A and B are shown apart, each in its own frame.
Chain A
């Protein structure tokens, strides 16, 4: 049985880890970009960021003062048992958010959209966002927090089948150029591209692609994997580096996620996860132990299932029979 109090403590801990410690995959990705960056200003920026991440970890201080919009992704195993129910988990995540905002400290960014009033704790109506997913056969709960910036670097466009891959490239270039100038997208970033679904799911898929997959990860569909690399190269060929200075450091990696969509359309979303790519995951095991990591492992075969059944379902049914 997983206790509700343990869920809150794990959520509190990943809030701190996400804000302070840069994930290893992203750090290594940036170090690799410094080696090939020919623009002096852009290279200086990246080197300063590496020093900044070291200072953050040493001082246990947030790597960036705009600590973004904290949010959660929760994956619950079919066989997980826990106290407090699902609303108990949501309450625990809201409480952890409020406590961590004061203790880390995080910037209380969340305000009412109209009245600009706030509780100084990053909690409010529909905040923090909590997205749920499920995993067959598992008996654990994974909680991931992402602190993504909220203003620049993401966009949505309804394309059509006739636009094809060229249309996706045009949209990606438009977005990276528009938000890359002066570095508003805080590049080089992990770029997530959502293709298909309905409009809302298209945005969700692109954001998850940017925030929940690590540098170097490839989509299991080999043709989509090739497109990921092609779009990454395209972004890095713009001639723009960190802060919009002359250079080549725009895209650390590109991740694409797809969803079946209306036969007449091809909605596309683009998301840039900034130079402070804050993500951290906790796994609460059935015996109550907690382990921490930076790879959310969000996109499982179950998440990308294509028909009614999924690869491991037969085995799952046989075992429970």
Chain B
């Protein structure tokens, strides 16, 4: 077997991430993290940004890494939590919260699945000195689960449930992640997508036209799609 990945650069980051470390990240590099990472997705965003609840005290000082994740966690009899697999959920759905959330929490690294809508890199992340790391696969749940050494805190478990609660994880060699975006607002997903798009038209060459057209091909609902 070949040695895939041998050309990818590997980086280890201690958290909270320092501005100069973040600025040095290059698209397509592989990253492993050690320190504190918190999970937050729509349940937490809604609770803080829409309903106006305060952030858990000390969160912004403890961690500047937001993981879009619902862990497979189970409460144990002794009050602790068993964390099994850990993987990310699709991030683009949280776009509308992103700017306000970064401002409120001073988060500098967002980790998730699949990246953000294109404009978010240049308009939201880069101006705040923040970058996006993507999980690999999706997902390397067992490898990431190994990297979670302990649950430091969990907030709003009762109100939001296991999947949506805010979990603060102690992590060590937590990864792999791939650098999707840099501080200049470039995105690996965008670049790779552009490259793939160049070959799409020729895939359809020679296929006959559909017998029935559909809304979606046209935005005008007055068109007849037969």
Contact = CB atoms under 8 A, between A and B. Distances in A.
A167 B136 contact: no
B16 interface: no
B173 to A, nearest CB: 12
Most chain B Cβ neighbours within 10 Å, of A55, A61, A103: A61
B142 A61 contact: yes
Interface stretch (B3-11, B18-26, B57-65): B3-11
B138 A163 contact: no
Most chain B Cβ neighbours within 10 Å, of A51, A103, A105, A109: A105
Interface size class of B (residues with CB under 8 A): 35 or more
Contact of B86 (A47, A49, A65, A245): A65
B12 to A, nearest CB: 16
A103 B143 CA distance: 19
A43 B4 contact: yes
B30 A246 contact: no
B193 A34 contact: no
Interface size class of A (residues with CB under 8 A): 35 or more
Contacts, number: 195
Interface in B170-226: 176, 178, 188-189, 192-193, 195-196, 199-200, 203-204, 207-208, 210-212
Most chain B Cβ neighbours within 10 Å, of A108, A183, A238: A183
Most chain A Cβ neighbours within 10 Å, of B86, B87, B199: B87
Contact of A65 (B30, B72, B203): B72
B2 A34 contact: yes
Interface string B92-129: 00000000000000000000011100000000000000
Given A108-B162, A184-B114, A238 B189 contact: no
A34 to B, nearest CB: 6
B154 interface: no
Contacts of B199: 238-239
15 contacts: A34-B2, A40-B4, A45-B137, A48-B176, A56-B141, A64-B87, A64-B138, A65-B72, A106-B72, A107-B72, A151-B90, A169-B207, A238-B196, A243-B136, A274-B138
Contacts of B196: 181, 238-240, 244, 246
B146 A107 contact: no
Contacts of A107: 70-72, 85, 162-163
Interface string B22-43: 0000001010000000000000
A254 B86 CA distance: 29
Given A61-B142, A65-B145, A160-B211, 7 more contacts: A44-B178, A48-B143, A65-B141, A104-B84, A182-B189, A183-B138, A275-B138
Interface string A20-50: 0000000000010011010011011111110
Contacts of A59: 142, 145-146
Interface of B: 1-2, 4-5, 7-8, 28, 30, 69-74, 82, 84-87, 89-90, 113-115, 134, 136-146, 161-163, 176, 178, 188-189, 192-193, 195-196, 199-200, 203-204, 207-208, 210-212
A39 B9 CA distance: 15
A166 B207 CA distance: 5
A56 B142 contact: yes
A275 B192 CA distance: 20
A34 B136 contact: no
Given A56-B142, A104-B72, A107-B162, A181 B87 contact: no
A170 B210 contact: yes
A177 interface: yes
A93 B142 CA distance: 26
B72 A51 contact: no
B208 A40 contact: no
A59 B142 CA distance: 8
A217 interface: no
B211 A238 contact: no
Interface string A241-280: 0111110000000000000000000000000001110000
A152 B113 CA distance: 13
A105 B200 CA distance: 41
Contacts of A43: 2, 4-5
Contacts of B136: 44-45, 48-49, 243
A35 B2 CA distance: 6
Nearest to A56: B142
B66 to A, nearest CB: 16
B146 to A, nearest CB: 6
Contact of A46 (B4, B139, B176): B4
Most chain A Cβ neighbours within 10 Å, of B5, B69, B71, B115: B5
A298 interface: no
A42 B29 CA distance: 13
A29 to B, nearest CB: 14
A244 B193 contact: yes
Contact of B212 (A45, A160, A173, A182): A160
